Amino acid sequence: MFVKKIFIAVTGASGTLYARRFFQHLPYDDWEVHVCVSASARVVASHEGGLNLPPHVKEWDEKDLTAPVASGSNKFEAMVVVPCSTATLGKLAHGIADNLITRAGEVFLKERRKLILVQRETPLSLIQIKNMELLTLAGAHLIPANPSFYGQPKTIEDLADTVIARVYDHAGIQAEVAKRWRAEEISKIPNEK
């Protein structure tokens, strides 16, 4: 069976919970999962309950630019940066490919592949807004870590899942992780991107 490849980068923005929930719901039978966790993400995770990557992922060091995802010759379906720091976002916007995460992002943009950034910062400076504009123009999907409340989430995990649900839809990952708005009133055909 053809298994799609996805690259997940965890960077040093607050929101380790988003990364944990992302890994928790992934349908691993359908995806070969490559992961890179930045040094700053490890620091943040140590303050936010830890990351605990699942055993069936291939983890790459941030400094390892020999990883398969660093070359456009290897086909990956999607790259997700969750959570995405403004530092990594800024580097991606300006082509600063100085570690595996920023190099992979550069590759995804040049190959016109799906690059999804779950950025977390508030408030935003004009520089950050301009960087987000540049990345949007270059084809990246910006999905800020802004949860929604209309599904009446009961736990903090449910709340985080409202963001992960949007990320999964954009990445083409089939998993129902949060309630869709008035979903019972529309046809049951899955929302394919």
Ligand X SMILES: Cc1cc2nc3c(=O)[nH]c(=O)nc-3n(C[C@H](O)[C@H](O)[C@H](O)COP(=O)(O)O)c2cc1C
Binding site for ligand X (CB under 6 A): 11-14, 38, 40-41, 43-44, 47, 85-88, 120-121
Residues 175 and 177: their CA atoms lie apart, in Å, by: 6
Question: Which residue number, 145 or 169, has a Cβ lying nearer to ligand X?
Answer: 145
Where do we find the tokens 């039978």?
Answer: 29
Q: Which of these, 23, 113, 28, 37, lies nearest to 75 by C-alpha position?
A: 113
Residues 164 and 143: their CA atoms lie apart, in Å, by: 9
Question: Which residue number, 47 or 188, has a Cβ lying nearer to ligand X?
Answer: 47
Residues 52 and 117: their CA atoms lie apart, in Å, by: 21
Minimum CB–partner distance for residue 32 and ligand X (Å): 24
In sequence order, what DSSP letters do the residues of 106-160 get, joined into one string? HHHHHTT-EEEEEE--SS--HHHHHHHHHHHHTT-EE--S----TT---SHHHHH
Question: Which residue number, 163 or 169, has a Cβ lying nearer to ligand X?
Answer: 163
Minimum CB–partner distance for residue 59 and ligand X (Å): 15
Minimum CB–partner distance for residue 97 and ligand X (Å): 13
Minimum CB–partner distance for residue 62 and ligand X (Å): 7
Q: For ligand X, which residue has the nearest CB?
A: 12
Question: Which residue number, 143 or 169, has a Cβ lying nearer to ligand X?
Answer: 143
